[in-house]
Structure 1
Amino acid sequence: MTDNGEHTGVDRARRLAALHGAERMLSASPFKERLGERLTRLAAEAADAYDLARWPDVYGDGVVAELERRVAELLGAEAAAFFPTGTMAQQVALRCWAGRTGGNAVAMHPLSHLEMHERRAYAQLSGLRAVHTTQEPRPPTAAEVRELEEPFGTLALELPLRDPGFLLPTWEELCEVVEAARERDAVVHFDGARLWECTEHFGVGLPELAGLADSVYVSFYKSLGGISGAALAGPASLIEEAAAWRHRYGGQLFQQWPAALAALAGLDRELPRLPSYVAHAKVVARALEEAFRAAGVPWFRVHPEVPHTHQFQVWLPYPAGLLEEAGVRFAEETGTWVFNRWSAAPVPGMSFTEVTVGASALGWTPADVRDAVGAVLERAAGLRG
């Protein structure tokens, strides 16, 4: 707490202790389990996902090769390569395409993961440069792609576009954007870290969605509850080249069986559940709006109002530290966890958080959401007073 009484945040150890002790969770978090608990769960789930009597992998064979095969099959791709990080997978994909197209310009959104969360590695490591598709906080349109003033070799599309609110175009809009890129003689790469949960919004299966692009990157921990890791999928010749660059980038690890096992278990456990998470996210979003109105919050935003996936943003007119303190106190007192970390918004006094609706939230009714959120806001008002 500062000298003027403003709460600056909650100590990490205290926050994790409150999260670990929570018996009910609205917004899912990957940090609820301690190491021993995570290892125990991995051992139990992995036994159903892979034959544990087989030997650990060595430089990408065994369980890693099985994961690659399964991902390629799920996405309808010729081949797939496992990468230790999504950032590495993205950079390798863009580098390979630049060599094949002869163009070092990549069309991308200025709020994409490539720009916001990878330290502009595409420029620093591969000498590529960005051409921004639009300055609007939404996915680009086909007209914007067609009207870009300079040529580009690759169009990189993040599905969903996380930073502006996990936003997706319609299926028709996405097809039109891809076609616009083809008209510009460009290839299309999907940053599909969260591609798994997009099919409900588009109304198509994974092979049809992934088949729109020339290459697709997917994550194993953002939606599937894995430990780490990603895959790049596409034509066999591209994946063979990508594997060579993976080695050069330091991604040819001696053993990766824990991450690979967790990914296979996540595909078995979470992939079939994602449609139910996406559907329930709409219920939770409506209930949150009702809770904020009932509490008399002067201004708030649930964005998008109807979530496109099982994740969305919440904006409130309170400092982030105050909201975190109120939420942790509520969890400590009641064993109910509502929101994860809050971040300060560009406007002073405003904060936002990302809500992830997972298995832990499926049992929450709208009344449960309204009651819990109302109680957190009561504590926030008390702290502010």
Structure 2
Amino acid sequence: MIDLRSDTVTRPTPDMRRAMAEAEVGDDVYGEDPTINALEEQVAGLLSHEAGLFCPSGSMTNMLGIAAQVPRGWEVLADHRAHILRAECGGHAALAGVTSRTWVSADGTFDAAQALSMVSRPRGYNQVGTAVISVENSHNFGGGRVADIEQLRTLHARTRELGVAVHVDGARIANAAAATGVGLGEYGALADSVSLCLSKGLGAPVGSVLVGSAELIAEARVLRKRYGGGMRQAGILAAAGLWALEHNLERLAEDNAAAARIARAIAEVDPAVVDPDTVDTNIVFIDLGPTGLDAQAYAAATEAAGVRVSVMDEDSVRIVTHLDVSAEDARRAGEILARSLAENA
């Protein structure tokens, strides 16, 4: 079975498990876990920031990054399909009192002017102020699209003038860097906070790191404890992240290439359901609308043939490549997905 539901399904390798077993640990709530401290320092450095904070999940690092910068009752602006608003159980509103407004991107790409045009600065007692603009890079529900670096530079320059912060949901920002050649440090320098996930393409079993200024991370550390995310001897988990950063960053280009290969195989059967030119990273959305196929039925057919996909809605499915998908797996998956499309349309 080739599992393309998500890059979260990867399993730690024997070498990663060995690194976890041998990790030096301490009590992280006291700031005394040397492996966690090393991971936080390394990720902060990679993304051109002062400090980092290791958390159990990307949802928590997004939550903390935004909550530490948005006063209660103020707003975050984001794409209408942003993970922070669509797939984090409403935590920003429910736990931090953060309101939100969205812009609409038809193809998952980021337009700085569109986001900046929505910024609100309070002029009276009844107006909501914009505190943060959140950009997802790469954009999960936007089909893995990468935010253009020039758009991010424009956003950074203008938000400095407006007094608005920029948060990047960079769950898969390493895939974006592999696709564009833009360094992680260059991406990170254009944001006030960045969330990097270790348990997706990088292959660690759990964990994400939030980076930002020392002041922001100090506030986020308090919030992490308040939300129940303070961990003790979690250096065992951080060791997996360190191993992943050392061994799995460069190979992310292989995942991006595998996704493009699968997209091309599907497009050869029906170019209306996927455009390979829009596959920037390791995510492919298959739009079944033009075929009339039901997404659940298509997913059942592909699983019966040996490939698991994620059903996103009634007429679309998502596939995500990862380190447990070899080049041969990608070739075979493309054949199966294309054949299932042809046989069931």
Under a length normalisation based on structure 2, what TM-score does the superposition of the two structures give?
0.84
What is residue 45 of structure 1 aligned with on the other side? Answer: 16
From 86, 92, 110, the counterpart of 1:116: 86
Secondary structure of 1:313's aligned partner: strand
What is residue 311 of structure 2 aligned with on the other side? Answer: 342
What is residue 277 of structure 2 aligned with on the other side? Answer: 305
What is residue 324 of structure 1 aligned with on the other side? Answer: 299
Query: Is 1:73 matched with 2:38?
Result: no
Identical-pair percentage: 28
Query: Is 1:276 matched with 2:254?
Result: yes
Question: Aligned pair count?
Answer: 332
Query: Is 1:233 matched with 2:211?
Result: yes
What is residue 361 of structure 1 aligned with on the other side? Answer: 326
Inter-partner Cα distance in structure 2 for 1:140 and 1:53 = 40
Retained in 1: the 8 A contact 2:23–2:236? no
Residue 340 of structure 1 aligns with an amino acid whose one-letter code is V
Residue 132 of structure 1 aligns with an amino acid whose one-letter code is T
* 1:1-385 → structure 2 map (5 Å cutoff): 19=1, 25=2, 27=4, 41-47=12-18, 49=19, 52=22, 54-55=24-25, 58-59=28-29, 61-99=33-71, 104-134=74-104, 136-148=106-118, 150-151=120-121, 152-290=130-268, 292-293=269-270, 300-303=272-275, 305-316=277-288, 317=291, 318-331=293-306, 338-345=307-314, 350-356=315-321, 358=323, 360-363=325-328, 368=332, 371-377=335-341, 380=344
Retained in 1: the 8 A contact 2:8–2:203? no
Instruction: Give 1:212 deviation, angstroms.
Output: 0.7
Retained in 1: the 8 A contact 2:73–2:97? no
Residue 109 of structure 1 aligns with an amino acid whose one-letter code is D
Inter-partner Cα distance in structure 2 for 1:83 and 1:131 = 26
Inter-partner Cα distance in structure 2 for 1:29 and 1:179 = 34
Q: CA RMSD in A?
A: 2.9
Residue 120 of structure 1 aligns with an amino acid whose one-letter code is G
Of 132-141 and 89-98, deviating more is 132-141
Retained in 2: the 8 A contact 1:324–1:341? yes
Residue 144 of structure 2 aligns with an amino acid whose one-letter code is F
Instruction: Give 1:364 deviation, angstroms.
Output: 5.5
- Show structure 1 runs of 5+ residues with no match: 1-18, 20-24, 294-298, 332-337
Q: Flag the 1:56–1:141 CA change in 2: closer, same or farther, 3 A.
A: same
Instruction: Give 1:239 deviation, angstroms.
Output: 1.0
Retained in 2: the 8 A contact 1:311–1:357? no
Under a length normalisation based on structure 1, what TM-score does the superposition of the two structures give?
0.76
Instruction: Give 1:96 deviation, angstroms.
Output: 1.6
Inter-partner Cα distance in structure 2 for 1:115 and 1:29 = 19
Deviation string, structure 1 residues 203-224 (Cα, Å, up to 9, x no partner): 3111111111011111111221
Secondary structure of 1:232's aligned partner: strand
Deviation string, structure 1 residues 325-384 (Cα, Å, up to 9, x no partner): 3223222xxxxxx34233433xxxx33222325452323576x55543354346646xxx
Secondary structure of 1:181's aligned partner: helix
Retained in 1: the 8 A contact 2:179–2:253? no
Secondary structure of 1:342's aligned partner: strand
- Show structure 2 runs of 5+ residues with no match: 122-129
Instruction: Give 1:267 deviation, angstroms.
Output: 1.7
Secondary structure of 1:301's aligned partner: coil
